[in-house]
Copies of this chain bind each other. A is one copy, B any other.
Amino acid sequence: RPDAIARPDETAAARSMVDLAYGLIRVLDDDNRAVGSWNPHLDDTTLLRMLRTMALQRAFDDRLFRAQRQGKTSFYMKATGEEAVAIGATFALDREDMCFPSYRQQGILFARDYPIVQMINQIYSNRLDPLFGRQLPIMYSARAYGFFTLSGNLTTQYPQAAGWAMASASKGDSRIAATWCGEGSTSEGDFHNGLTFGAVYNAPCIFNVVNNQYAISSYSGFAGSERTTFAARAIGYGIPGLRVDGNDILAVYAATNWAANRARLNLGPTLLELFTYRAEAHSTSDDPSAYRSAQERQEWPLGDPITRLKRHCIDKGIWDIARQEAMDLEVAQEVQAAQKEAEQNGILGHGLHQPDQTMFQDVYEEMPWHLREQSEQAIRERALKWPE
């Protein structure tokens, strides 16, 4: 029952709220009504914007997944079923707050209106890829959107977020940092490093653990979930730990908002566990049928976050099936149009979109002699391979 867990004041002592680490904060009840003390009472426009953003991400994921299967790129990662996690949080953060995501928080970019054609350019490593084809698809970087360059190495962003937040606080800046990792990734040493720095320096930082119950093939028990919750890790550092229904976007919003307020009041970091479910494969390189039953997906623990918000809006009388269908069509078309546009800049398979020199740039600010020499070699090789 959502209202079972009362929302404490943001200034309350961490010790006074350990129960929050063991329950499950919800706003939408089983009938999709917004109830309880965590209800953020969002206005209708915001609710519908949230709904549309989640739908857009779902459409994008589906389309780009197919693009990978069609051979237009090498790799893709969906976040199906987890849309509320990143989108709900981003709606609760300030636009200027800095995000240190893992690879499954593309929702931040959608919520901050990052141009989706740019995302596809990156995914295709094409001529207009802002990262010059250097990064694996979906490893975005968008400083202007408060989105830190994604790493392929798990959990390295945790201490980085703490450091960014320490810097912000030391400069009297009101901006805070937020970071995300998967439940499997909590085992890395850097999870501990992030929390230690956060706790010791009272850094204005939100540490999110997205518990989608799976790493790649291994379930959350291999990260410790059989003994306790991930939110409970917070207790060991003396900071608040909140366990949140990650498929309930209003709960995600409310918990993030609470943690952000606390951080801005200079009361330090919070750990949020977002309990959710990875509804599809780990990535396009993965086939989950080898390690879990198809039925599991049908049961979809906690339900589809889009469906839940949609029903809430319909019940509230601000939305209906027809508009939902129109919106679904609209976002699909938006993605399709962006994809078309991006394809004009090339797809991965179609030739070499970046001049070879770009490969040698940005290794350092200035190119040292050995990279200059190697770059000449690369240019010579290209001329031999593709004499024009």
Contact = CB atoms under 8 A, between A and B. Distances in A.
A236 B238 contact: no
Contacts of A235: 228, 232, 235-236
Interface string A202-242: 00000000000000000001111011100011111111000
A281 B258 CA distance: 44
A228 B223 contact: no
Interface string A2-38: 0000000000001100100000000000000000000
A263 interface: no
Nearest to A159: B189
Contact of A236 (B14, B188, B196, B234): B234
A234 B222 CA distance: 17
Nearest to A201: B222
B227 A239 contact: yes
Number of copies of this chain that the complex holds: 2
A222 B227 CA distance: 28
A192 interface: yes
A330 interface: no
Contact of A227 (B18, B190, B238): B238
Contacts of A358: none
Contacts of A196: 187, 223-224
A295 to B, nearest CB: 26
A193 interface: yes
A367 B159 CA distance: 42
Nearest to A228: B238
Contact of A191 (B15, B192, B223, B226): B192
Interface string A131-162: 00000000000000000000000000000000
A42 interface: no
A199 interface: yes
Contact of A200 (B188, B193, B224, B236): B224
Contacts of A227: 14, 199, 237-239
A49 to B, nearest CB: 36
A171 B268 CA distance: 45
Contact of A192 (B14, B18, B189, B232): B189
A334 B89 CA distance: 67
Top-4 shortest CB links A-B: A189-B189, A227-B238, A228-B238, A236-B236
Given A199-B227, A224-B237, 5 more contacts: A196-B224, A199-B224, A226-B238, A233-B236, A235-B235
